[in-house]
Amino acid sequence: MGKITLIKDDITKVTAEAIVNAANSSLLGGGGVDGAIHRAGGPTILAECQKIRAHQGGCRVGEAVITTAGKLPASYVIHTVGPRWQDGHHDEENLLKKAYLSCFKLIEEHGIKTVSFPNISTGIYHFPKESAATIALAVITQGVQDNPGIEKVNLVCFDEENYRLYFKLMGEH
Ligand code: AR6
């Protein structure tokens, strides 16, 4: 866990080479962390998202796209789309895993060394937080092991409940 740091903060305030956004398939922004990232980063991020939309028609659940980061303290924003929780029988766990994995694919392709993740799907998409944290930690731990170029991963929790959960689960490793 040496390269993985737990932080309780607003992800737009944390410096890293890449910031992961919990976006939606339209890539046109929204509430939660997506809204915060577009607000803090400024209009260039949305302009790039619109170009991606024109080219490939948005971003499917479980996939990810990359833009620059505008005014954020970062070089890139990786926009991934987590699943909306329905009842647990709509492939939600696998799709959440895929969303994190898609980020690691872009991290590798772009030689990114430091990255901050929010708790994807655990807000407006209502994914149960403990299960989401378990999936996130498993994929992130593996991703860091598989890519020695990664120097630091920030797990940025905004709400107290997620922060406590991650703190507990990371203590168990
Ligand atoms: N910094 C870090 N984490 C944050 C911030 C912030 N500034 N704001 C919220 N969170 P959510 P989702 C946490 O709802 O569930 C958007 O409208 C929040 O506490 O942002 O994946 C998109 O456009 C929660 O733990 O994303 C989609 O339509 C986590 O970020 C939809 O919401 C994720 O909550 C995606 O829903």
pLDDT at residue number 15: 98
* pLDDT above 70 (res 173): no
pLDDT at residue number 103: 99
Residue 3, CB half-sphere, CA atoms under 13 Å: how many?
A: 18
In this structure, are residues 137 and 100 in contact, taking their beta carbons and an 8 Å threshold? no
- pTM of the full structure: 0.98
- Which residues' Cβ are closer than 6 Å to ligand 1? 10-12, 22-24, 30-34, 36, 82, 118-125, 156, 158-159, 162
How does residue 158 score in pLDDT terms, banded at 50, 70 and 90? Answer: very high
In the chain, the amino acid numbered 11 is: I
Most informative mutation of 78, 124, 154 for ligand 1 (most atoms within 8 A of CB): 124
The predicted model gives 110-122 an average pLDDT of: 99
**What residue owns the CA closest to ligand 1's atom 3?**
158
pLDDT at residue number 172: 78
Express each pLDDT in 62-103 by its tens digit.
999 999 999 999 999 999 999 999 999 999 999 999 999 999
- The number of the ligand 1 atom at minimal distance from the alpha carbon of 10 is 1
Ligand 1 centroid to residue 169 C-alpha, Å: 21
pLDDT at residue number 1: 58
- Give 156-161 contacts, CB < 8 A, sequence gap 24+: 156/7, 156/8, 156/9, 156/10, 156/11, 156/14, 156/116, 156/117, 156/118, 157/6, 157/7, 157/8, 157/119, 158/8, 158/9, 158/10, 158/11, 158/33, 158/118, 158/119, 159/119, 160/8, 161/129
Express each pLDDT in 29-69 by its tens digit.
999 999 999 999 999 999 999 999 999 999 999 999 999 99
Instruction: Map out the domains of the chain with their CATH numbers.
Output: 4-171 (3.40.220.10)
Ligand 1 centroid to residue 150 C-alpha, Å: 24
In the chain, the amino acid numbered 33 is: V
Ligand 1 centroid to residue 34 C-alpha, Å: 6
In the chain, the amino acid numbered 74 is: A
In this structure, are residues 100 and 78 in contact, taking their beta carbons and an 8 Å threshold? no
